[in-house]
Amino acid sequence: MKMTFASADTERTVLYVSNSPDKKLADFLAASAWHAVHAKSTASAERMIERDNIKVGLVELPQDCTSQQLSALASCMRRPETNWVAQIAPGQADDELVSRFILDYCFDFVTRPWLNERLVFALGHAHGLSALRQAPATPEPSLGRHGMVGQCEAMQQLYRRIDKCGATEAPVFVAGESGTGKELTARAIHERSPRAGRPFVAINCAAIPPSLLQAELFGHERGAFTGALQRKIGRIESAHEGTLFLDEIGDMPHECQAVLLRFLQEGTIERLGGNGPIHVNVRVISATHVDLDKAVEEGRFRADLYHRLCVLRLVEPPLRERGGDIKLLANYALSMYKQDGARKLRGLSSDAIVAMSNYAWPGNVRELINCVRRAVVMSEGRFINASDLGLPETDNGPAVTLAEIRSKAEKDAIEHALQRHGYKLSEAAAELGISRATLYRLMHADRLHAEPSGGRASSAGAEGDSDADGDRERRAPTLMSASA
């Protein structure tokens, strides 16, 4: 209902939610260039907010209001675009329910008897802030054209590689830690390939008992084994003309590896209990979080299958190396789940962003999304702060400067090179791309010995101090060139 005393030439609208509107106040608002509209019930307030895109609200909290009344009000005050000012009676803020409500939903409050100028000031402030929010400095992060959130250099490179993989038929192997987005990458390759629109069939080789995996992949005829009551089409066959995603391939049992290899070589499958090969046209993408090279070395994974699967290889960057993407992904997760929380959530506080940037995220993007989702539900304020995230305290010790990091990396590199070459300075220097003299100088500065500790005492200059191979200096890695 429009209040009769609203000024016509005004742009600023305030929605006044009250059981009994205050006529004097309304006059003052109109005289102060506020277009006041009144809602008696929360239901009509909600409708007006939606319909008229209301930016500023004024709510009169009933005396002795109950939690039901407050939650009814909260339901129309949740929209982050609308800033609310509450009117309360003296002493009402001592009620814990009311104070919590004001903290969660209101931009400001005034206590009776208020100065009308003070109220108009608060409304003006609420309006100004709302206008700022309307023009967000950064757009809400959304899934990019590869169906992923991320702008860091490593992700840009991944996107370029996904495009290249999409353009060929060669098998792709996606490596990366758990939760980095291997499955998303596999889907993105499929979507960017001529097979998009055809089936994308994923099978998690670790989730299916080894005894059933073969039947699941290749299918079976009726009566092929006890319990095979009818014919079943396997996953490979159902991916015909599309893409088969073999997830957690590193956990595939040996006997299944042999049959899979045959399929990859011949392009045909045979259903268990079947009586002939069936030609299947699928593009294979595989992934695992286990170290497949090591599995091959240790004989757990067939080398010939490995070479068939890893024609093209993509590596997902771990989240801890994705810099600003952590903030992007956290905001993306917040935009997905902020409706789950009971309160009006404004965003992530800067200490939350710092805590997230300092955390190592062993579970990568999956862990970050779950962490934000949990914080949305558990947080109490209008911003999610570091303590809401419940991340373990990172003991970073005293702050480390870039120079200290460089110097430690340099010392480690020298130590390793010395160990690898049995403490032969010329060879270690050659590997490091520096002259023997420079190596000697760095060892001296880093207090490194020219012998393993406990070995024969000798000085760093035992092999001579000539700079005959100074030309190698030019090949010094960046790390070294800073101080070499």
Ligand X SMILES: Nc1ncnc2c1ncn2[C@@H]1O[C@H](COP(=O)(O)OP(=O)(O)OP(=O)(O)O)[C@@H](O)[C@H]1O
- Name the site residues for ligand X (rule: CB under 6 A): 148-150, 176, 178-184, 289, 365-366, 369
Q: How far is residue 55's CA from residue 57's CA, in Å, rounded to a whole number?
A: 7
Stretch that binds Mg ion, among 18-26, 175-183, 299-307, 380-388 (CB under 5 A): 175-183
d(C-alpha 143, C-alpha 148), whole Å: 5
Residues 135-174, one symbol each (x = binds Mg ion by CB under 5 A, - = not), give ----------------------------------------
Nearest approach in angstroms of CB 206 to ligand X is 9
Classified as helix, coil or strand, 206 is coil
The values of phi and psi at residue 375, to 5°, are: -65, -35
Closest distance of CB 317 from Mg ion, Å? 15
Query: How many of the chain's residues bind Mg ion (CB under 5 A)?
Result: 1
Q: Cβ-closest residue to ligand X? A: 181
Name which of Mg ion, ligand X, none residue 149 binds, using a CB cut-off of 5 to 8 Å depending on partner kind: ligand X
Residue with smaller CB distance to ligand X, 15 or 149: 149
Establish if 446 lies at the interface with Mg ion (CB under 5 A).
no
Judged by beta carbon, residue 30 or residue 201, the one nearer ligand X is 201
At closest approach, how far in Å is the CB of 366 from Mg ion?
Answer: 9
Closest by CA position to 78, among listed 62, 57, 97, 93: 57
Count of CB atoms situated within 10 Å of the CB of 359: 19
By CB under 5 A, is residue 27 in contact with Mg ion? no
Q: Smallest gap, in angstroms, from Cβ of residue 183 to Mg ion?
A: 4
Taking the complex as a whole, the smallest distance from the CB of residue 365 to Mg ion amounts, in Å, to 11
Q: CB-wise, 14 or 249, nearer to Mg ion? A: 249
Measure Cα distances from 89 to 83, 104, 361 in Å. Answer: 20, 18, 48
**Least distance to Mg ion, CB of residue 350, Å:** 32
CA dihedral (46, 50, 52, 56) in degrees, to 10, reads 60
Q: What does the block give as tokens for 376? A: 């949305």
| Partner touching 250 among ligand X, Mg ion, none, CB below 5 to 8 Å by kind | none
Which residues 182-221 are close enough to bind Mg ion by CB under 5 A? 183
In angstroms, what is the minimal distance from the CB of 202 to Mg ion? 8
Residue nearest to Mg ion (CB): 183
Measure the CA–CA gap between 263 and 312, rounded to whole angstroms.
18
Q: Among residues 191 and 473, whose Cβ is nearest to Mg ion?
A: 191
Task: Return d(Cα 477, Cα 481) in angstroms, integer.
Answer: 6
* Binding partner at 151 among ligand X, Mg ion, none, C-beta below 5 to 8 Å by kind: none
CB of 241 to ligand X, least distance (A): 24
Q: Which stretch binds Mg ion (CB under 5 A): 37-45, 178-186, 257-265, 370-378?
A: 178-186
Residue 203 or 236 with smaller CB distance to Mg ion: 203
- CB-nearer residue toward ligand X: 152 or 479: 152
Q: Judged by CB, which is closer to ligand X: 152, or 448?
A: 152
Task: Check: CB of residue 37 under 8 Å from CB of residue 14.
Answer: yes
Report what 150 binds from ligand X, Mg ion, none; CB cut-off 5-8 Å by kind.
ligand X
User: CA–CA separation, 162 vs 166, rounded Å?
Assistant: 6
Q: What are phi and psi of 479, to 5 degrees?
A: -55, -45
Q: Is the Cβ of residue 105 or residue 301 nearer to Mg ion in the bound state?
A: 301
Residue number, 156 or 281, with CB nearest to ligand X? 156
In this structure, are residues 392 and 436 in contact, taking their beta carbons and an 8 Å threshold? no
Q: How far is the CB of 290 from Mg ion (least distance, A)?
A: 12
Q: Which is nearer to ligand X, 70 or 148 (CB)?
A: 148
Contact between residue 153 and residue 294 where contact means Cβ atoms under 8 Å apart: no
259 Cβ neighbours under 8 A, 6+ residues apart: 214, 217, 218
Enumerate residues 6+ apart whose C-beta is below 8 A from 28. 116, 120
Q: Does 95 bind Mg ion (CB under 5 A)?
A: no
Of 365, 440, 422, nearest in space to 183 by CA: 365
Tokens describing residue 366:
């999956």
- The count of residues in the chain is 484
Q: How far apart are CA 288 and CA 178, in angstroms?
A: 8
Nearest distance from residue 175's CB to Mg ion, in Å?
12
Residues in the site for Mg ion, rule: CB under 5 A? 183
